[in-house]
């Protein structure tokens, strides 16, 4: 009888553990705000993520200063590519494109409730980031 109870407990734990990864993956989906300090001051970027299975896609949008020569700039949006999620860990790439130059930025990190934390690896080295759900 005790062996039966032990097997039932182990099986229940295994099923609950297998079910835990998709919950974190689905929590990654949605809109996030990344606040970053740059040479031009504080910027807020809007990250919208879509999760299908372990694949992550979406967009990163933000206002880009005044543009070269003091004109233009304004809202910019860039696709999220090569994205994956495994449990609470994620990674994806956003390739910024300005004036014919492409600048890939690789994001990697973890999700913990309503907060994303991680590192952006790109042309200026590694930079930490934190994202929260908009209020």
Pairing verdict, β 101-112 and 30-38: unpaired
Judge whether residue 18 has pLDDT over 90. Answer: no
- Report which of residues 97 and 30 the model is more confident about: 30
- For the chain, the straight-line distance linking the first and the last C-alpha, in angstroms and rounded, comes to 52
pLDDT digits (tens, 9 = 90+) for 62-82: 887 655 544 456 788 999 999
- At residue 13, the pLDDT reads 46
- Domains of the chain, earliest start first: 22-132 (2.40.128.120)
Phi first, then psi, for residue 90 (nearest 5°) are -140, 160
**pTM for the whole structure:** 0.75
pLDDT digits (tens, 9 = 90+) for 84-124: 999 999 999 999 987 888 999 999 999 999 999 999 999 77
Judge whether residue 125 has pLDDT over 80. Answer: yes
- At residue 21, the pLDDT reads 45
Q: List, as own/partner pairs, every contact residues 35-40 make where C-beta atoms lie below 8 angstroms and the sequence separation is at least 24, other chains included.
A: 35/130, 36/127, 36/129, 40/65
- 3-state SS class at 7: helix
By 3-state DSSP, what share of the chain in percent is helix, strand and coil, each rounded to 5? 20, 60, 20
- By C-alpha distance, which of 100, 94, 63, 98 is closest to 79? 94
pLDDT mean across residues, the chain: 81
């Amino acid at each position: 009888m005790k062996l039966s109870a032990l097997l039932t407990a182990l099986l229940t734990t295994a099923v609950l553990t297998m079910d835990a990864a998709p919950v974190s993956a689905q929590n990654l989906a949605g809109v996030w705000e990344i606040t970053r300090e740059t040479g031009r001051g504080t910027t807020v970027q809007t990250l919208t993520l879509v999760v299908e299975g372990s694949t992550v896609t979406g967009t990163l949008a933000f206002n880009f200063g005044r543009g070269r020569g003091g004109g233009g700039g304004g809202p910019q949006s860039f696709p999220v590519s090569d994205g994956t999620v495994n449990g609470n860990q994620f990674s994806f790439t956003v390739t910024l494109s300005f004036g014919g130059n492409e600048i890939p930025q690789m994001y990697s990190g973890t999700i913990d409730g309503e907060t994303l934390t991680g590192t952006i690896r790109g042309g200026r080295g590694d930079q930490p980031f934190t994202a929260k759900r908009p209020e």
